């Protein structure tokens, strides 16, 4: 029995070393899993979901259509002004030319 107990005593530090090594490896695995969970959560938070993208696209499309309507209204106003001003300018120039020609004859 003494040889058995002395053999157990000599194996005891090796078993403790193996257990400590195993505990370290388990801790590393747990830490790695936690880091992966954190990375997955962070990545899912940074990228929008499909419904969020659809909502943003709808908002963008509605803003674009509103701007198109505004620009078309502006172009109508500008076109109306241009078509009204150019003939008036032409008539005014013609009247100046006629008036100066009459004044030169007298």
**How would you write the pLDDT of the chain (106 residues) with one tens digit per residue?**
555 666 666 666 767 778 888 889 999 999 999 999 998 888 777 777 889 899 999 999 999 999 999 999 999 999 999 999 999 999 999 999 998 888 765 5
User: What H or E segment, with its residue span, contains residue 49?
Assistant: none
Distance of CA 76 to the CA centre of its chain: 34
Phi, psi of 99 (to 5 degrees): -65, -40
Secondary structure letter of residue 47 according to DSSP: S
Vertex 19, ends 16 and 23: CA angle to 5°? 135
**Predicted structure pTM score:** 0.43
């Amino acid at each position: 029995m003494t040889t058995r107990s002395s053999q157990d005593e000599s194996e005891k530090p090796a078993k403790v070393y193996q257990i400590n090594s195993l505990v370290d490896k388990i801790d590393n695995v747990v830490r790695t899993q936690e880091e992966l969970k954190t990375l997955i959560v962070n990545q899912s938070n940074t990228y929008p979901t499909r419904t969020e993208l659809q909502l943003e696209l709808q908002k963008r499309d509605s803003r674009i259509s509103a701007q198109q309507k505004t620009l078309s209204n502006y172009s109508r106003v500008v076109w109306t002004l241009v078509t009204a001003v150019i003939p008036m300018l032409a008539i005014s120039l013609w009247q100046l030319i006629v008036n100066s020609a009459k004044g030169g004859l007298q």
